[in-house]
Chain A
Amino acid sequence: MYISKLSLVNFKNIFQVDLELSSRVNCFLGDNGQGKTNLLDAIYHLSYTKSFFNSVDSQNIMFKEAFYVIQASISNFDEEISLYCGLKKGEKKTFKKNKKIYKKLADHIGLFPVVMITPYDINLILDGSESRRRFFDALIAQFDKNYLLSLLQYNKLLKQRNSFLKTKNTSIDLLDVYDEQMVELANSIFKSRENFTKEFVPIFNKYYKDISSNKEKVSLDYFSSLIESSMKDIFINNRNKDQIIGHTSSGVHRDDFLFTINENPLKKFGSQGQQKTFLIALKLAKFEYIKLKKNITPVLLLDDIFDKLDDHRVGYILSLIEKNKLGQTFITDTNKEKIPNILKKLNIPSKLFWIEEGNSFKI
């Protein structure tokens, strides 16, 4: 799957661009703050129906303008798909596939898969468990509509249960009801996460080993209180505590995915290089997992990573591109020559665009 044409109007600092793209590698080159990352964000937008950076849609409209439009032609084998995303100030976002408006944006998720590697990925290591849960939940939900439904129902019941606990009402019959309703959902969420981890971790391990030349042992493990005891027992054992503190202290909503190096937390014990390698392996594993499950090669967005990575890791990613393992790839870089020279040397077909003040000039 690749984008053949991309057009933007009034998207962030980009007034208007129309790009004819290469099915292999496209480089957006230019100084910082010119709009390179905004172009990647526009592509991300077409996949996830929202920006990677701004959760408030209207903030993506160019300063003083009234609307933005992102349009693209996508090729998938013999099929041509047109995507359109437009937002007018004060109105609802319109998202169209082949000129047909989606009733629910969620229906589009997974149809045009994109994986983005960005310096912001570091937050997956630094933040609390919520950001890791969100990352993996989003990935699992792409392939399992039931998972998404269970998750939504569990979270709704959790909110109700917590509201009830906050009222300090001592009647336990309603707690019994919530517990029983949530137990089944928790079990199914737990099983899905466990099964996912079994499939995902070997892919991750393979990538980490490939990229890293060192002998350190890293691991990615699913952690849940349900590993040790059943959700039912967890509720029973924590009942008094939950009533005192006024919320649900344990359950699948507290699960985590643990990143470790030599059995210590990666956040504290991993060097910057090891953390970066971990994240790239994680994102490439996501890429491979989607490819495996969907039989569609996602589009890969590499935001500013060549600036921040050493030659060894850059070389590894480029070798994957060279072996044609990655499909269409977008690269941003501030150096006008470094990446183009390597691509030329490796004989990788590519198109180069110079980005300046929100305009694009083909090089």
Chain B
Amino acid sequence: MDFKSKLLNDAVEQMSSLPGIGKRSALRLVLHLLDQSEKEVKDFTKAFENLKEHLNFCEKCFHITEKKLCEICSNPSRSEETICVVQDVRDLLAIESTQQFYGKYHVLGGVISPMEGIGPSDLKVNELKERIIKESTNEIILALPATMEGDTTNFYIYRKLQDIQLNITLISRGIGVGNQLEYIDELTLGKSLLDRSVYKNKI
């Protein structure tokens, strides 16, 4: 599609680079922004600039934060003893919304999938191990997706942590295979967290 204006073309191109936004929707959104006052548009773009500039990853758990440590890591009322391992921020927020978990998190940054070019060294597995040794961790809860890649990653982590005195548990997999944690309703997710079981390597 050509919109007969280089500026419009560029704006639509940028907007449609977002996931789930096609050229048609992008044009609608861009034309909407064009109708706004200059200040409104400045505020809009500034919000994203700020986000990128000031938001970084927590030194401990790799959750997003504006400081060195995230809100969860710096909250003294949350237990240090349990760490819940999730693949990304979306899944962390999903578990947070159940209000069933009072420990800390560790955001891996994905699951192992060589087909997509993601190997163990691309994930924060070593950081997890260092953390567990340093902190007085009692239990880690594996809350990765119930896919083959999730299974592989669980097992990989389990083997990495084998020589440490530690309880390793797995959230219950009553959840359908392959379901993303973020799409599971809060009650079900909360229950699968409570129903967690000792990790054994089986598929």
Q: Which residues of A contact B (CB under 8 A)?
A: 153, 156-157, 159-161, 163-164, 166-167, 169, 171, 173-174, 176-178, 180-181, 184-185
Contacts and interface: CB of A to CB of B under 8 A. Distances in A.
Given A153-B203, A185-B203, A173 B155 contact: no
Contact of B159 (A157, A159, A176): A176
Contacts of B201: 180-181
A169 B115 CA distance: 13
A166 to B, nearest CB: 8
B108 interface: no
Given A156-B148, A160-B115, A160-B148, 16 more contacts: A159-B115, A160-B149, A160-B152, A163-B115, A164-B114, A167-B114, A167-B119, A169-B119, A173-B120, A173-B159, A174-B112, A174-B152, A177-B152, A177-B156, A177-B159, A178-B152
A160 to B, nearest CB: 5
Interface of B: 112-115, 119-121, 148-149, 151-152, 155-156, 159-160, 201-203
A174 B120 CA distance: 8
B161 to A, nearest CB: 12
A297 to B, nearest CB: 35
Contacts of A174: 112, 114, 119-120, 152, 156
A170 to B, nearest CB: 12
Most buried by A among B159, B201, B202, B203: B203
Nearest to A167: B114
Given A167-B114, A185-B203, A157 B152 contact: yes
A181 B119 contact: no
A179 B183 CA distance: 31
A178 B112 CA distance: 11
B157 to A, nearest CB: 10
- 6 A-B pairs with least C-beta separation: A163-B114, A164-B114, A163-B115, A177-B156, A156-B148, A177-B155
Nearest to B147: A156
Contacts of A185: 203
A72 B202 CA distance: 44
A182 to B, nearest CB: 9
B115 A171 contact: no
Most buried by A among B119, B152, B155, B160: B152
5 contacts: A160-B115, A164-B114, A171-B121, A176-B159, A180-B155
Contacts of B160: 173
Contact of A171 (B120, B151, B152): B120
A160 B203 contact: no
Contacts of A173: 120, 156, 159-160
A160 B119 contact: no
Contacts of B112: 160, 174
B182 to A, nearest CB: 23
A214 B6 CA distance: 81
Contacts of B115: 159-160, 163
Contacts of B148: 153, 156-157, 160
A181 B149 contact: no
Contacts of A160: 112-115, 148-149, 152
Nearest to A152: B148
A128 B159 CA distance: 38
A163 B118 CA distance: 10
A233 B146 CA distance: 28
B117 to A, nearest CB: 8
Contacts of A181: 151-152, 155, 201, 203
Contacts of A164: 114, 119
A26 to B, nearest CB: 43
A95 B155 CA distance: 40
Nearest to B177: A149
A156 B160 CA distance: 23
A157 to B, nearest CB: 6
A325 to B, nearest CB: 42
Contacts of A167: 114, 119
Contacts of A153: 148, 203
